Structure 1
């Protein structure tokens, strides 16, 4: 890949191949799959529950694109490689990958919930890395492609009661930042999705106020719009994102005082 080609990365379109989404049986993954199908994509969706995947696929009936179900487990590296190979052999090259699978372990009262931390890292970080490996290897041979990783605004700084989730998302953010330039040199557009609170089955378990909560359909539209624009970070809602961007640069004494004040208000 020469320097000139690497500087003009493509924004992939439906005619370039298939879109692949992990963690697409519900929530953001399912909504993004439907939005991509609405815009003409063939979308291969992955999760462990075939019945849920097939239900999502049926929602795309009548749209200009289509959704096809492929069962897979993001914690299985060999399985992810085989799944990517199967998708390409049936539907064509993976042009766009959205590595979305993730969990938010509940807090069990212990200061360090080892089980929750290990589970969050296994899915939210290592699951992303295994998806990246499977997609990047194939895109590298073609010298083009687009990959987006779903992290979270919770990965910006440490948040009370979100140690496992926030740490895994912070690691995913770091991973994408570290891989960005190498991916660019290979002709692959790498993007980072950092949403705030979106109304999904996962966030409905929260027992605290969720500022600027938005519908999953609105979130999906913003994500797919971001795929089409092509910038590195896709983040929303804007007001919450900028508040947390400012919080990233606050000195620790100021940040901890602010977080402590907010926690007392929540209590």
Structure 2
């Protein structure tokens, strides 16, 4: 029943207008391909125009819309263009991300700026562009792609992890503020997914999933109207439980995960 769901349930994608930002590869690209196959109109955005064109190649309902998510004016211009083409946007999926495994003593100022602006600031730029129209319509949905790395301070995620923790916090307050206005807010927390970002890791990644499996899990969660869509379930439940341990236990366990320099 709809009343038992925290959000609207997305079961029929026919004709729906979905904008995926950060869709030139990985989860975003796979989600775009899957939604196109289900009958949605899908716009894909990112900095790599050739990769975007490949995602929607041969798809009359697909639209490649190159932009830099780190530039506020790009969000406004792209949203205006979509509204002229589609009249309105039903769902915006925030997938843009940067990641490089770093320990605290390896922090680089430029790397930190670029990662925070891509993973976090770009979401604020996008919300500033799309929410006013959704508020007028009293409808629409936003999907934030965070990570289980935002649950707690994991090794190698010195910059990436805090940006994802911020997105988790942001999704919660967005839901509280926007739900009364008919706007859906969905938080996606994947575990390890095989993408160009996780290819940087030089350690064994437990419960590593394909992008196809990740896209299927996201669509399953959207169909159920869930607020948090976390997968794979066993891994994400274990991480959530670890994050709720008292600091005396949690920090000791985290230290065991760390490798000495």
Change (3 A) 1:163 1:41: same
Q: Is contact 1:146-1:189 (8 Å) kept?
A: yes
Map 1:36-51 onto structure 2 (within 5 A). 36-51=35-50
Map 1:231-246 onto structure 2 (within 5 A). 231-246=226-241
Change (3 A) 1:205 1:132: same
Map 1:18-167 onto structure 2 (within 5 A). 18-58=17-57, 61=58, 66-107=61-102, 110-167=105-162
Superposed CA deviations along residues 125-184 of structure 1, whole A, max 9, x for unmatched, are 111111122221211111111110000000001112211000111111111111111110
CA distance in 1, matches of 2:190, 2:40: 23
Q: Is contact 2:103-2:155 (8 Å) kept?
A: no
- What's the offset of the Cα at 1:8? 8.4
Task: Name segments (4+ residues, structure 1) moved above 3 Å.
Answer: 7-17
Q: How many residues are treated as equivalent by the alignment?
A: 257
Q: Is contact 2:7-2:227 (8 Å) kept?
A: no
1:54 is paired with a residue of what secondary structure? helix
What does residue 204 of structure 1 align with?
199
Moved more, 255-264 or 148-157: 255-264
Superposed CA deviations along residues 64-95 of structure 1, whole A, max 9, x for unmatched, are x7321001111111220111110121133110
Q: Is contact 1:107-1:113 (8 Å) kept?
A: no
Q: Is contact 2:190-2:232 (8 Å) kept?
A: yes
2:90 is paired with a residue of what secondary structure? strand
1:256 to 241, 251, 255: 251
Moved more, 7-16 or 238-247: 7-16
1:174 to 169, 193, 217: 169
- What's the offset of the Cα at 1:15? 5.0
**Structure 1: which 5+ residue stretches go unaligned?**
none
Map 1:208-227 onto structure 2 (within 5 A). 208-227=203-222
Q: CA RMSD in A?
A: 2.2
**Structure 2: which 5+ residue stretches go unaligned?**
none
- What's the offset of the Cα at 1:218? 0.7
1:235 is paired with a residue of what secondary structure? strand
2:238 is paired with a residue of what secondary structure? helix
> TM-score, structure 2 length as denominator?
0.91
Structure richer in strand, relative to its length: 1
